[in-house]
Amino acid sequence: MSTKITPFLAVAILFGFYHLYISLLRLFRPRLPYPPGPRGYPLIGDLFNAISNTHKGSKDINQHEWARYLEMGRKYSSDIIHVNVLGDHTLILNSAKAATELLEKRSGLYSDRPRLYMMSDLCGWHWNLATMPYSNKWRLHRRIFHQDFQAKAVSTYHPFILQATSNFLRKLVPIEYDPLHAPEIEHVDLESYVRDHAGSIILRVVYGITAQEDLNDYVRLAYLASESLIATMNHGSFFVDYLPWLKFIPAWFPGASFKQKANTWAPMVSDLANGPWKTLKSSMANGTALPCFATKNMEKFNLSNLDINSIENSNNLNSEPDMEEVIKNCSAIAYFGGSDTTVSLVMSSILALSHHPEVLKKAHEELDRVVGPSRLPEIGDRDELPYIDAIIKEVERIYPVTPLGVPHRVISDDVYEGYFIPKGTTVVPNVEAILHSEELYQDPLKFNPDRFLRNDKDSELPPNPELFSFGFGRRICPGRHFALDTAWVLIACLLATCDVTRPLEESQKGCRTPDPVLDYFDGEIAHPKPYKCRIVPRSITALNLMKAGYPSEN
């Protein structure tokens, strides 16, 4: 009696031999140690600590995720830390040296992203360019985005930045000019002004949206959707990132509160991607669309007449309907990124300035000398205003927008300084730890813009925070030039026209509370906790500048 080997059985046997070969290869390969870190237990690894730290809200600044990772590095006397949870490996990089070596010099191995099941699968952020896997699909999205947001292209958006900055200054104009009794500005009001400013620029640039009702709706939509991204973008923020099968359990199941959160967040994320896009398609259909990022790319690929619904079920990246999806995705991430990260940088800048009158005084002196009292600062003045640039760099350093960066994933086994890094490891650059390193920045917890000013030809400046705060290697943020130009104009104009101080009661009592360096909400994008400040026009002349704004021809 003979046994007939079917094609299926042959494939199964070959598959079995292959896995046996791989297992033996690993068994007899000289085994290097993992980097230092908690030993955990067999099979489950550091499971119990992961459970205790998964998506916990903390009011103690020392329990922020980046601070916990830094403390682990000190405990194990290493700038790289390895954590294993149920076979899911994570590598934390607490130094510029490690981040540069792995994420920059070995970017070919470290440019992938881990699968964030809570964020992408359950909340619907799968279209997010920043977290897409390293693939041809990502390259296509990146190329489309980069063409219109590279440094040379951003200058075409400067008129919109100046117009929005004029509107922002007018919102700050007091009813009566009274420097001694100017009202305090609550955080919630100030943040709404900053969000309106950032949102109006990016919505005009990306979708050509200018109607105030639409601007209000979409600025608020970006704010609501940001909660889900901030909460889910750090690998392991929710336990479903470690056990993907959990995404299939129903929301009513005991312990499935993460599904309830996802069910609340997902419609907002969907509206974020589709709401302004439908507005754009409607304006294109009736011939009222303004030239913008989306229309330019739609016309470039001859997609102006395609129906948005035709892209829903197509997966071939070479087909025209999918090019529309790519443009829609790029538009959505530009809209969201420009709406939230700029807000974080500006709100942190105002907070820092209100606590440092000595910095405010130096900024006023430089602006008065270079720009004078008769006009607002222009982007062309930037090279002549190094102290303003230094302030923004110091804000980026001491209050980084993304304290843990965006996680990377290694695509094959690697070795670093004698340690084994297995394929599939999630790699987390601890950006806040790097930017507060005493080796790179003297007295790192002190807010000191002067550190970025060259005192003589031979003096050596510390690293520019932008080397770390906007990502690494091939995954560096492609929208950084737009974000920095937007923030620079607003901060320069605010400093040129206003005093930014603490609340009057604190000033009168001579209250000197510690710098709120670490007093931030935890999450992927850092936002300062609510604060009050006083923003007062420096003079009647400055008040008139705020009312006038930039000339209309800009």
The answer for residues whose C-beta is within 8 angstroms of residue 340's C-beta and 6 or more apart is 198, 222, 223, 226, 525
CA–CA separation, 42 and 426 (whole Å): 20
Contact 96, 434 (CB under 8 A): yes
Measured at the CA of 547, the angle between CA 543 and CA 552, to 5 degrees, comes to 135
Eight-class DSSP state of 444: T
Q: Show the tokens assigned to 471.
A: 């990502």
User: DSSP string spanning 490-554?
Assistant: HHHHHHHHEEEE--HHHHHTT--PPP-TT-B--SSS--BPP-EEEEEESSHHHHHHHHH-S-TT-
Using alpha carbons, list the distances in angstroms from residue 280 to 221, 332, 406, 514: 16, 12, 30, 47
Using alpha carbons, select from 265, 276, 320 the residue that is nearest to residue 298.
Answer: 320
Region of residue 459 (left: phi > 0; alpha: psi -120 to 50; beta: else): beta
Q: Show the tokens assigned to 445.
A: 């917890």
CA–CA separation, 58 and 53 (whole Å): 10
Measured at the CA of 470, the angle between CA 550 and CA 79, to 5 degrees, comes to 150
- Phi then psi for 409, rounded to 5 degrees? -145, 130
Residue type, 319: S
Eight-class DSSP state of 155: G
CA–CA separation, 416 and 93 (whole Å): 12
The answer to the question of whether 511 is labelled as a binding residue is: no
Q: Show the tokens assigned to 263.
A: 């069910």
Contact 358, 496 (CB under 8 A): no
Using alpha carbons, select from 376, 339, 401, 398 the residue that is nearest to residue 492.
Answer: 376
Q: What is the radius of gyration, based on Cα positions, of the chain?
A: 26
Contact 367, 539 (CB under 8 A): no
Binding site residue list for heme: 477
Binding site residue list: 477
